[in-house]
Structure formats: C-alpha cells, structure tokens
C-alpha cells in the first residue's frame, strides 16, 4: 500500500472517530455545551486537558524549535510545564469552587462590574484568537504534506472538521473527543521516538537515549551533535546564547500565561467537585509529561538525522547531490516548507550556517518529517500525520469553545439580551463558534511566525491581562472593579503595543510574515514581554484600587469564602 493511501486511511479513521464521538456526546443544554454538565471523571478530564494543552505548538513545532535553538529554547519546556503547577495550586480549585461557566463570568461577578466582564471577554478573545492562529498553521503544515494539498486547502479541511464536531458537541463533545485525540497524539509521538532512539543509541526510552552514546560514534549523542554543528559553523547546541534577562522573562511569561489561558481553565469547570479539579490538574501533568520528556530527544535526534542525510559520509566529505536527494526531501519540497538553492552551482546540497547555506528547513516540519528522515515504516509516518492533526484540532476546538462561550454567555446573555431562552443561547453559541472558526482560518493563512512562536505571543497576552486579574480576584479583597479594569487594559494594551512595535506595524509587502526587529527595551523580545505586561497590570490595579473606594463588604466576604473552607477556625480548644 502506498504512503498516500496509508495517510488517508489513518487520518480518515481518526476524523470519523472524532465526529462519531461528537454525535454520541452531543450537547443538549447550555450546561453541557459550556461545561459538559460538570460530570467528567478527573482522569478523563486530565487526558482531555492534556490534549487541549498539547497543541500544534507542542506536537509539531516545539521539537523543531528545540532542534534548531538548543539550550536557549528549553524555556518552552520549563515555562509550559511550570505553568501547570501554578494553575493546579493557585487557580483551578478556587475557580471551580466559585461555580461559574466562564472566566469572564468569574471576573464580572468578583469585581461586581459588567465593564470588567466585557474587558475580560476582549482579553480572552485577543489571546485565544492569537493562539488558534498557531493551531491552524500546524493544521496547514500537516495537511499540505500528508494529504498532498496546498497549505490553504489543508486549513479549510481542518476548519471543516473542527466545525463539525465542536459546533455539534460543545464542551461535552469536545471533552470526549479530546480524550480520543490524546490517545492518538501520545501514541503517534512516542512510537517513532522509540524507533529513532533505538536506532541512534540502542536505548528504547528517548529521554534516556538523549544522554546515551550514539552508536555511530561511541560518544554521547549530544556531544556527537555538538561536534557536527560546530564543524558546519552553527552555534553551540548546549550553551546559552540568549540573555539571562530575556530567558527569565520568557519562562515567567509562559508560566503565568499557561495559568491564565481561558480554554485550559474552563476544563476544570467540567468536573463534579473542587477535589476533582485538583485531581484533574495532577493527572494532566502526568499525561503532559509523557510528551514533554520526549520532545528534547526528538529535537536533538531529528537535527542529527538531518545532518546525516545531507552528509552521509561525514561533514568533511562531499554532501549529497541534489539529484540524489532522498524521497523525504522531494516530498517536503512540494509543500514549500523545505527549499534548496544551488548557490555555488556544484549540484550538491550545502547545509551550513551563514550566507553559503543552500538548504532552508521550516522548523515546523521537523517532528512530522523525522520518521521519513529516519526511514521508518509507512504506517508510522501515517500515525504521525494523524497525531499532528489530533494535537492541532484538539486545542483549536478548546480555544474556539472558550471564544464561543465568552460571546454567547458573557456578552449576549449577560449584557445584550438577558432574557434569551436557553435554546436561543445555545444557537448563539454555535453561531459564534462558526464565526470564530472562519476568522481563525483566515488569520491562519498569514501567521506571524512559526506555530510555537505564535502561541508564545498568545501566552504573553494571557499573562499580561487575565492571569493577574484572576490572582487578585482570588487572593486580594482590596482590589476593586476600577482597579481590575484599569489593570487588565494597561497590561493588554502595553503588551500588544510592544508586540506590534517589535514585530513590525505592517506586513512586509510580498511576504506573509511580520518583520523582526531588535528588542525595544533592554534585551526583552516580544514573546517575553507578557511578564512585564503582567507586572504593569498588578501595579496599575493596586494603585487605582488604593486611590478609590474599597469593594463592598459582601464582595470581600465572597473572596474570603472562595479561599477558606466553610467552618474553618470554629473548632478550637478551650
């Protein structure tokens, strides 16, 4: 059976599974549409959260970022996993105890203000739309290669699939679909990693293989890779090149951005109790760790395989001739994500650092191309295709659910038409999700960077706007409505301004990407500014609250009741 047919079978089978689950778990009420009826088991919710979290950025792009960035990109791993610890300890149980459907609903009630709720909706939509662009980018990459269609056609196909199961099933359908998607993506990620680790090091556990000896040289794998990169003029793989300030702020931005992502937070509204919310967070960490412990090995091994493909007899020898290039290069050239230019006219592929380089490899293809580079069986390649699409579509569905809920529940029902019936509210939620899918698809055609970079920008926006408001709403009785609104706007606006000033106000004519520029403030890049935006949010909120009236007594008692168990302090010794 040829590779295209295998790809079609694997991808088609998983899509049929997702749509079948959505039909089986179709939401019939707003409670099921927004929060899956609050009846999801903690383990299943942990799996769904893992799929919701491990997006195209994690599955498709992260290993590519690590593969080309080395040590500097370890911040992605530390920030994204550390954020879950913050979420589990500081936010998830308290927000579940509050008992609302959406993040803007909590902010609106806690800060006793419809304005605060509206600003929260704006922050949510801004961060979520930016995030979903990264997912649609990943969908386009996967479809363009494995189903041999253009990037834009792949986007449209992916959007249609998400529309079918997300609009139909709501949070209930999305939850159980994401459980299936987690199983698909984790199998698809680990199986080829095990094959490649065995081949390169003899160790079946990729995370351990990363620190084992390479069978080809008898030296540690990382040392082997370091030597090859040095010979080709690339920067060191294991040394730090970014500034400590930027790495620190980037890590913090990813951590607090994780804890402030609405589509992840709402997952903890779907379980029956507060204890289940804590348990779900723990299980999610376990399921996420399975992929995140493997990603560094995938990145390093993919870079090693890439170099060995171009220089099969060693970097000191003549590189492979372009006419004799392997099939995987031919396949990925068709997508436009791998390009060759014979600059010296010798007909060979020069892969070097600098102007003499003749091979341009898009970082988003590394995970998907790795099984082909390693010459693994066709069914493994097809499985990776299905896994990459599962990762992108699962997170896209969660993000679109968050956007839909904010529009239908927090704008239409809460402010525009409070008397709307449940049936019409459900219809409004489905229509708003359809519109969100259309907008996300359009923006996905012109992404501002690699999938992981685009997602990092979304984390910065969530970090600077939503996370501080949630933290102050739970842990400070003194923050009032004026302070919360001023803080969210200050954090969001300053971060957006910095991103656009750093990345370029306008698209560059003739290209599909923003321009890059030197950091505007010290060494802080646009992807790291979320931490600064969060500090601005906190400072402005506290300053404005101190200068204005205290929150009403009932609001202060509400904050107290969220954090302190009922009856605490009543049992004392006499």
CA distances from 165 to 141, 173, 174, 399, 531 (A): 21, 7, 7, 14, 35
Closest CA to 138 of 383, 412, 337: 337
Query: b/e for 411-420, b at 16 or more Cβ within 10 A?
Result: bbbbeeeeeb
Q: Give the CA-trace dihedral at 474, 115, 538, 85, to 10 degrees.
A: 40
Question: What 3-state DSSP class applies to 36?
Answer: helix
Q: What is the DSSP letter of 374?
A: T
CA distance 488 to 485: 5
User: Residue 521's beta-bridge partner residues?
Assistant: 524
Q: Return phi, psi of residue 213, to 5°.
A: -80, 140
Q: How far apart are CA 73 and CA 290, in angstroms?
A: 19
Which residues is 338 bridged to in the sheet? Answer: 361
DSSP label at residue 205: -
Strand partners, 40: none
Radius of gyration in angstroms for the set of CA atoms belonging to the chain, rounded to a whole number: 24
Nearest to 281 by CA among 104, 69, 107, 46: 46
Q: Which two tokens stand for residue 219?
A: 């030296």
Give residues with Cβ within 8 angstroms of 23, minimum separation 6: 168, 169, 173
- H-type alpha helices, 311-419: 327-333, 366-373, 378-405
139 and 368 Cβ atoms separated by less than 8 Å: no
What is the SS3 assignment for 212? coil
Residues 6+ apart with CB under 8 A from 22: 164, 165, 166, 168, 169, 173, 174, 177
Question: CA-to-CA distance for 101 and 405, rounded, in angstroms?
Answer: 8
Burial class (CB in 10 A: 0-12, 13-18, 19+), 34: buried
Residue with tokens 């060979």: 348
- Predicted local confidence at residue 482, as pLDDT: 96
- In whole angstroms, what is the distance from residue 38 CA to residue 29 CA? 12
Q: What does the block give as tokens for 114?
A: 């419809």
CB-based burial label for 512 (10 Å; 0-12, 13-18, 19+): exposed
Q: Which helix (H) or strand (E) holds 359?
A: strand 359-361
Of 80, 89, 119, give the one whose Cα is nearest residue 103: 119
Q: Which residues pair with 507 in a beta bridge?
A: 514
- Sorted by where each starts, the structural domains of the chain and their CATH numbers stand as 3-302+376-458 (1.20.1730.10), 310-360 (no CATH)
Closest to 544 in 3D by CA, of 501, 481, 476:
481
Helix (H, G, I), strand (E, B) or coil at 128: helix
Nearest to 551 by CA among 470, 482, 473, 478: 478
pLDDT of residue 451: 55
For residues 106 and 98, the answer to whether their CB atoms sit within 8 Å is yes
The contacts of residue 364 (CB under 8 Å, 6+ apart) are 60, 61, 64, 137, 138, 141, 337, 450, 451
**pLDDT per 10-residue tile (average), the chain, 574 residues:** 86 84 73 69 87 76 88 87 83 81 88 93 88 76 75 81 72 80 89 93 95 92 94 92 91 91 81 84 87 92 92 89 92 86 92 91 85 87 85 78 83 86 84 83 69 72 94 94 96 89 48 51 85 96 96 91 58 41
């Amino acid at each position: 059976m040829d590779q295209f047919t295998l790809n079609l079978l694997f991808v088609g089978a998983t899509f049929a599974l997702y749509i079948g689950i959505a039909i089986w778990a179709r939401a019939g009420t707003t409670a099921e549409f927004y929060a899956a009826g609050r009846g999801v088991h903690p383990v299943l919710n942990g799996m769904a959260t893992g799929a919701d979290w491990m997006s195209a950025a994690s599955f498709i792009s992260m290993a590519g970022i690590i593969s080309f960035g080395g040590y500097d990109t370890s911040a992605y791993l530390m920030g994204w996993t550390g954020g879950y610890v913050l979420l589990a300890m500081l936010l998830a149980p308290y927000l579940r105890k509050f008992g609302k459907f959406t993040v803007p609903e909590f902010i609106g009630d806690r800060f006793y203000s419809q304005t605060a709720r509206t600003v929260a909706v704006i922050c949510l939509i801004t961060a979520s739309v930016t995030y979903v662009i990264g997912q649609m980018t990943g969908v386009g990459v996967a479809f363009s290669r494995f189903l041999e269609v253009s990037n834009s056609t792949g986007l449209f196909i992916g959007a249609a699939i998400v529309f079918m199961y997300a609009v139909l099933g709501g949070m209930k359908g999305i939850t159980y679909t994401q459980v299936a998607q987690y199983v698909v993506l984790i199998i698809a990620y680990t199986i080829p990693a095990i094959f490649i680790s065995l081949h390169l090091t003899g160790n079946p556990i990729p995370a351990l293989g990363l620190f084992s000896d390479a069978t080809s040289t008898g030296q540690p794998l990382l040392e082997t890779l370091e030597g090859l990169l040095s010979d080709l003029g690339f920067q060191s793989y294991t040394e730090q090149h970014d500034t400590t300030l930027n790495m620190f702020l980037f890590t913090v931005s990813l951590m607090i951005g994780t804890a402030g992502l609405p589509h992840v937070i709402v997952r903890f509204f779907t379980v029956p109790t507060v204890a289940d919310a804590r348990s779900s967070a723990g299980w999610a960490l376990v399921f996420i760790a399975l992929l995140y412990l493997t990603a560094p090995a995938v990145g390093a091994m993919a870079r090693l395989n890439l170099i060995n493909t171009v220089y099969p007899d060693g970097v000191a020898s003549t590189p492979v001739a372009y006419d004799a290039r392997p099939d995987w290069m031919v396949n990925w050239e068709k997508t436009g994500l791998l390009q060759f230019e014979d600059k010296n006219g010798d007909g060979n592929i020069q892969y070097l650092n600098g102007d003499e380089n003749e091979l341009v490899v898009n970082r988003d293809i590394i995970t998907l191309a790795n099984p082909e580079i390693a010459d693994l069986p066709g069914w493994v390649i097809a499985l990776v295709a299905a896994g990459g699409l599962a990762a992108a579509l699962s997170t896209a569905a969660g993000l679109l659910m968050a956007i839909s809920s904010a529009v239908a529940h927090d704008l239409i029902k809460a402010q525009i038409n409070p008397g709307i019936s449940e049936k019409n509210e459900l219809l409004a939620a489905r229509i708003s999700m359809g519109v969100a899918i259309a907008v996300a698809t359009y923006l996905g055609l012109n992404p501002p960077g690699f999938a992981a970079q685009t997602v990092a920008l979304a984390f910065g926006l969530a970090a600077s706007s939503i996370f501080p408001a949630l933290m102050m709403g739970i842990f400070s009785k003194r923050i009032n409505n004026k302070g919360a609104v001023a803080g969210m706007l200050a954090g969001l606006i300053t971060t957006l301004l910095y991103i656009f000033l750093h990345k370029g106000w306008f698209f560059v004519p003739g290209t599909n990407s923003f321009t890059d520029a030197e950091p505007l403030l010290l060494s802080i890049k646009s992807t790291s500014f979320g931490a600064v935006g969060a500090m601005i949010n906190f400072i402005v909120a506290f300053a404005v609250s101190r200068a204005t009236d205290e929150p009403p007594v009932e609001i202060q008692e509400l904050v107290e009741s969220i954090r302190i168990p009922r009856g605490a302090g009543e049992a004392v010794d006499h």
